[in-house]
């Protein structure tokens, strides 16, 4: 179980063209009302989440909208509550914030340092590629503001990860993006393929029969065009030094260790969202009324009124506690595979992709919009994955592949 928390719901100081969360306010999908998580919701969240998490460490991921809009005092209060309940339940807490970085100043950096907050910065590449869609409220590119935030993090020696959306502007420039991200000094990168449609795909069990892909989306066949060259650059030069989540996930999968990225897992893990008003949803990609699981205030010790009084260690209300929540509707969708997926040689790696992306249909069954792009990418990297498996079987770390790239490329070219 993991919660991604939206302390200010969809509010953001930027207005990126491809944002799927910002329109939830104007479309009425999310309620109007207080936009900073109220005190009672925050305390219920911290108390119940820490109590219900099975492991020793509880991971809080703060996201938006732009989560820094909640303000410094909100996080000071959140961290104080974490200290209180972590002590009570004998657990450790770690915090991660996914931010557009434009609001980061010295005061934020001091707070991040003090609480060892892990930063994830959204950035799509060098200025022209980033600014194509990631714009401020005045319609101007946000790159310079993001870089100013990154400079602050660097000045305070705060490590940060990057999240890069692959879209219509940057997919033809994989190596430009690669070298730019490397120049930032971050050693953990994530990539997210963008597709949004008109109408919105609000019911994940059904394909969309008639839709328009929005112009910023990654073309359906282009995933391999971006990720293939990126993989080859990485495996030759930076494997073992830079972690790219999607690549590590595929490598873990072929080594029998399971995926790290839910997009390619064979189920939707319980990676739920807690909105500013406390409503829990099955996933960040399905913040729609049909995917609500309840409200954080109605679960666990907080709801029993014991949280601030004494500790019984119990986390149930009646027979149902927070730890029983499950992304069941999404898991059911994910398990339905089209005939094309069932016959596909890449099924063990891809598992049909994210249910949000299953907007097409094969024989009436939802199919990933990115299927052709995934097949292209997986075909490009299979020779390298096979060598990594062989290395591990010989008890040699898979990162030793770095010294074998010329041989692999020659063998592929000679086929």
The site for ligand SF4 (CB under 6 A) is made up of 262-263, 268, 271, 283, 285-286, 330, 340-341, 344, 346-347, 350, 352-356, 368, 371, 374-375
What is the closest distance, in whole angstroms, from the C-beta atom of residue 71 to ligand SF4 in the complex?
28
What is the closest distance, in whole angstroms, from the C-beta atom of residue 94 to ligand SF4 in the complex?
21
**Is 374 within 8 Å of 191 (Cβ atoms)?**
no
Six token digits for residue 66: 């732009």
Residue 31 or 348 with smaller CB distance to ligand SF4: 348
**Number of CB atoms found within 10 A of residue 312's CB:** 11
Cα 324 from chain centre: 23
**Number of CB atoms found within 10 A of residue 252's CB:** 15
Six token digits for residue 378: 């997986």
Has 83 been annotated as catalytic? no
Residue 239 or 344 with smaller CB distance to ligand SF4: 344
**Is 356 within 8 Å of 285 (Cβ atoms)?**
yes
Residue (of 392, 386, 393) closest to 407 by Cα position: 386
Strand 292-295 and strand 279-281: pairing? antiparallel
Helix count and strand count (H, E) for the chain: 15, 16
Residue 136 or 285 with smaller CB distance to ligand SF4: 285
Six token digits for residue 101: 């970085």
Residue 207 or 301 with smaller CB distance to ligand SF4: 207
What is the closest distance, in whole angstroms, from the C-beta atom of residue 357 to ligand SF4 in the complex?
7
DSSP track, 249-305? HHHHHHTTS--SSGGGSSS--SEEEE-TTSEEES-GGG-SGGGEEEEGGGSHHHHTT
C-alpha span between 223 and 373 (Å, rounded): 4
| Choice among 124, 210, 284, 363 that is catalytic | 284
C-alpha span between 138 and 216 (Å, rounded): 19
What is the closest distance, in whole angstroms, from the C-beta atom of residue 261 to ligand SF4 in the complex?
8
C-alpha span between 205 and 215 (Å, rounded): 25
Q: The tokens 């893990």 sit on which residue? A: 269
What is the closest distance, in whole angstroms, from the C-beta atom of residue 222 to ligand SF4 in the complex?
14
Residue 343 or 413 with smaller CB distance to ligand SF4: 343
The count of C-alpha atoms lying within 13 angstroms of the C-alpha of 154, restricted to the half-sphere facing its C-beta, is: 10
Residue 125 or 352 with smaller CB distance to ligand SF4: 352
**Is 359 within 8 Å of 195 (Cβ atoms)?**
yes
What is the closest distance, in whole angstroms, from the C-beta atom of residue 370 to ligand SF4 in the complex?
7
Polymer length of the chain = 415
**Number of CB atoms found within 10 A of residue 134's CB:** 27
Residue 301 or 352 with smaller CB distance to ligand SF4: 352
Residues 6+ apart with CB under 8 A from 187: 241, 242, 243
What is the closest distance, in whole angstroms, from the C-beta atom of residue 166 to ligand SF4 in the complex?
15
Cα 51 from chain centre: 24
Residue 100 or 286 with smaller CB distance to ligand SF4: 286
What is the closest distance, in whole angstroms, from the C-beta atom of residue 342 to ligand SF4 in the complex?
8
Active site residues: 284
């Amino acid at each position: 179980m993991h919660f991604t928390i939206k302390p200010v719901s969809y509010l953001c100081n930027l207005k990126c063209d491809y944002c799927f969360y910002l329109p939830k306010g104007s479309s009425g999908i999310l309620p109007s009302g207080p936009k900073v998580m109220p005190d009672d919701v925050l305390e219920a969240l911290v108390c119940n989440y820490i109590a219900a998490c099975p492991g020793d460490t509880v991971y809080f991921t703060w996201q938006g909208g732009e989560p820094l809009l909640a303000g410094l005092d909100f996080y000071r209060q959140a961290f104080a509550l974490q200290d209180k309940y972590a002590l009570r339940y004998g657990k450790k807490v770690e915090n991660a914030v996914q931010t557009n970085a434009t609001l980061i100043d010295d005061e934020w950096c001091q707070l991040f340092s003090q609480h060892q907050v892990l930063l994830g910065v959204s950035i799509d590449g060098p200025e022209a590629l980033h600014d194509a869609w990631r714009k401020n409220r005045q319609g101007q590119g946000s790159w310079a503001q993001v870089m100013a935030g990154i400079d602050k993090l660097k000045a305070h020696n705060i490590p940060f990860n990057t999240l890069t959306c692959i879209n219509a502007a940057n997919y033809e420039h994989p190596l430009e993006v690669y070298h730019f991200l490397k120049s930032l000094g971050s050693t953990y990168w994530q990539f997210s393929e963008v597709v949004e449609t008109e109408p919105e795909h609000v019911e994940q069990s059904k394909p969309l029969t008639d839709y328009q892909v929005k112009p910023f989306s990654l073309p359906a066949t282009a995933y391999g065009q971006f990720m293939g060259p990126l993989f080859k650059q990485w495996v030759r030069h930076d494997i073992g030094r830079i972690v790219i989540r999607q690549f590590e996930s595929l490598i873990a999968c072929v080594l029998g260790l399971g995926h790290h990225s839910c997009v390619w897992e064979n189920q939707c893990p319980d990676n739920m969202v807690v909105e500013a008003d406390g409503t829990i949803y099955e996933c960040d990609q399905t913040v729609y009324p049909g995917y609500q699981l309840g409200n954080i205030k109605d679960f666990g010790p907080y709801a029993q009124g014991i949280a601030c009084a004494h500790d019984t260690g119990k986390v149930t209300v009646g027979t149902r506690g927070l730890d029983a929540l499950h992304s069941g509707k999404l898991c059911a969708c994910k398990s339905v595979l089209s005939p094309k997926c069932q016959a596909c040689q890449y099924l063990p790696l891809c598992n049909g992709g994210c249910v949000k992306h299953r907007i097409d249909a094969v024989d009436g069954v939802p199919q990933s919009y990115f299927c052709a792009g995934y097949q292209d990418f997986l075909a490009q990297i299979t020779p390298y994955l096979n060598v990594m498996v062989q290395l591990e079987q010989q008890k040699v770390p898979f990162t030793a592949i770095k010294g074998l790239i010329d041989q692999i490329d020659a063998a592929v070219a000679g086929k």
